[in-house]
Amino acid sequence: MSPLKSQNSELNSTDATGSKYLDMDLLRFTTAGSVDDGKSTLIGRLFYDSKSIFEDQMEAIEKSSKSSGEEDVNLALLTDGLKAEREQKITIDVAYRYFATPKRKFIIADTPGHTQYTRNMVTGASTADLAVILVDASKGLLTQSRRHAFISSLLRIPHLVVAINKMDLVDYSEDVYNEIVSEFSAFAKKLNVTDVTYIPISALKGDNVVDKSENTEWYKGSTLLHHLENVKVDADENIIDFRFPVQYVIRPNQNFRGFSGRVASGHVRPGDEVKVLPSGLTTKIKDIVTRGENLEVAYPGDSVTLTTEDEIDISRGDMIVRKDNVPTVRNDFEAYVCWMDGKALEPGKQYVLQHNTRRTQVYANDIVYRMNVDTMGREDANKLELNEIGRVKLVSSQPLFFDAYQVNKKTGSFIIIDKATNVTVGAGMMRAGSTVSKDDSTQKSKLKTQHSPNVTWEPWNIPREEREKRNGHKAQVLWLTGISGAGKSTIAKEVEKRLFESGKQTMLLDGDQVRHGLNGDLGFSAADRSENIRRVGHLSRLFFEHGNIVICTFVSPFDSDREAVKALFPEGNFKVVHIICDPKTAQERDPKGLYAKAEKGEISGLTGYDANHEAPENPALTVNTDELSIEEAVEKVLDLIEAKS
């Protein structure tokens, strides 16, 4: 028995039930990059060096490589399964592969690099926890790699690994590696990603894939496999907002009527009060049935049948939600769309939109802008061509029930289908519900120009620039947003203290403080929350014009409100800092006892419990207090301030 086969036997062995790895942690990741960057070879190397292939597989690819006249074993053949792929030596379809090490199980989506197959990359990345973006060291960072990184950011993949491949072709040059790292780092600052890791590798030779390479002694980081085994996988299921798209109505007899589907997010128990969309009718859950037995609770991903206490009309395409926690319901909305068809997306043309179990007619009302994936700039456009990505206003013939993609991937995504060919031609990610179908400039202008009648604007007595000279620093506004318990106030207080001790002019505005006076007349409805932020925005501007560094700590759950406040300030002087943590962590901290009250039913509409927080699309900084100490978080915020000052 060969060493390869003996180690395979150990790795792939199971007990009598085949369950050795059933309880292991699972990482889903995708590989992406430009054509010929070595994605399939990299996966083959992972399999080969981690002893995750069998002897007969190895013999087959050795034979195939030899017949093709290749000197080295072509490890890409392990994943290039189609005949056309083997002949052309490219990846066409998404190839899913599974393997395990003693530390973790893996599902890999090997996606194509060719521009015409970008749609397959979107498919492979849609469920990934991590994306490996390959860059050919001999070619540098190409447009397709930028496009895949941008798509990964849009899809909210939390971890990126930039694998700088083919280091053997550049003599394992540290300078080449550093140059690519510098270029990608500058590009990544424009993306909504917080965790980027760079690894120099040679998939062909095996350097730093599974084993550390002696050819890159200057590199002190981990190998790719070690990183994949140890990266923290954050659960991305939305456990707060119960969403149940109805797939099928089951009525085997007159005594049973149930509604089948899969729990998209949140959880549900018998006795919970629910609302049915679009009818708006309310009832209570009677039973949760699966495989002939009743469950006490159903969680995200569970396929179940729900029965209700009342006989109400529910059909396929409807959605069952919690009574006091409903998604946006409307037929006009904005979304980021990745176009996947050779025929351009043009305003006015009719398509079919598939959103969860609901299918309806849709057309583009307007293309707000197209993204330039090289510069990340916004360009005017009247259509979207193949592989282009843009922000689009869409109108559907029937109302949809959705959340912003940042809040809920399951209810914030959709596909667009060509009516004539039934081919998927686009994929979209819905923007925050409170901002849809509004012209941003109109919204911002309204906030900027609103004033009482019969008053005249009084110019500033002493210009801000003069105050900045005296203060010795620039004025700016930092807006800390996030759910209750994330750590906003704790971080803000320490930041202001440090700034004050260094001689800076500061003002800290806290949500509880302004609601004890200035905004004491406001409640917590959506309208009152927006009015609260409107007033705080103008108050912040007064302190800003006085030359202060203004630190604002507000839940501010609506992205449109934050954007409207941002419009009050000169470009670059207003920065959003998103303070995040797992909702369970926030509920355990519960510094103000709000979650305990919500659990008892004493309050409702608590952001982070039974109400959404719309994540900012492009925050200047994201701080995860699950991963960082208060001191580390404060340092990051101070660095952001110093960069402006």
pLDDT at 157: 85
- Report helix angle 55-67 to 3-12, nearest 10: 130
Tens-digit pLDDT profile for residues 591-643: 888 888 888 888 877 888 877 788 888 899 999 999 999 999 999 999 998 86
Give the rounded percent of residues in the chain with a pLDDT score beyond 70: 81
- CB half-sphere exposure, 590, CA atoms < 13 A: 12
In this structure, the chain runs to a length of 645
Second-level CATH architecture of 3-230: 3-Layer(aba) Sandwich (3.40)
Dihedral sign, CA of 549, 554, 559, 560?
Answer: negative
Q: Is residue 20 predicted with pLDDT exceeding 50?
A: no
Ramachandran assignment for 530, one of left (phi > 0), alpha (psi -120 to 50 degrees), beta (any other): alpha
Q: Which two tokens stand for residue 160?
A: 């990126």
Q: How confident is the model at residue 113 (pLDDT cuts 50, 70, 90)?
A: very low
- Which of 585, 608, 589, 584 has its CA nearest to residue 598? 608
The CA-CA-CA angle for residues 619, 551, 556, to 5°, reads 55
DSSP tag of 240: S
DSSP tag of 611: B
Contacts of 52 (CB under 8 A, 6+ apart): 8, 11, 12, 46, 99, 100, 101
Per domain, the residue ranges of the chain are 3-230, 243-322, 328-435, 465-644
CATH superfamily of 243-322: Translation factors (2.40.30.10)
Q: Is residue 78 predicted with pLDDT exceeding 80?
A: no
The count of other CB atoms within 10 Å of the CB of residue 84 is 10
The count of other CB atoms within 10 Å of the CB of residue 3 is 8
Q: Is residue 68 predicted with pLDDT exceeding 70?
A: no
The answer, as to whether pTM is greater than 0.95, is no
Provide Rg for the chain, Cα atoms: 27
Question: CATH for 465-644, among 3.40.50.1220, 3.40.50.300, 3.30.750.24, 3.60.10.10?
Answer: 3.40.50.300
Q: Provide CATH code, domain 328-435.
A: 2.40.30.10
Dihedral sign, CA of 418, 422, 425, 429?
Answer: positive
Q: Is residue 588 predicted with pLDDT exceeding 80?
A: yes
When the pLDDT of each residue in the chain is averaged and rounded to a whole number, the result is 82
Residue in the structure block whose two tokens are 């894939």: 209
Q: What is the DSSP string of 328-339?
A: EEEEEEEEEEEE
Do the first three CATH levels of 3-230 and 465-644 match, i.e. the same topology?
yes
- CB half-sphere exposure, 21, CA atoms < 13 A: 17
Tens-digit pLDDT profile for residues 212-246: 999 999 999 999 999 999 988 765 567 788 999 99
| Average pLDDT of the residues in 69-83 | 53
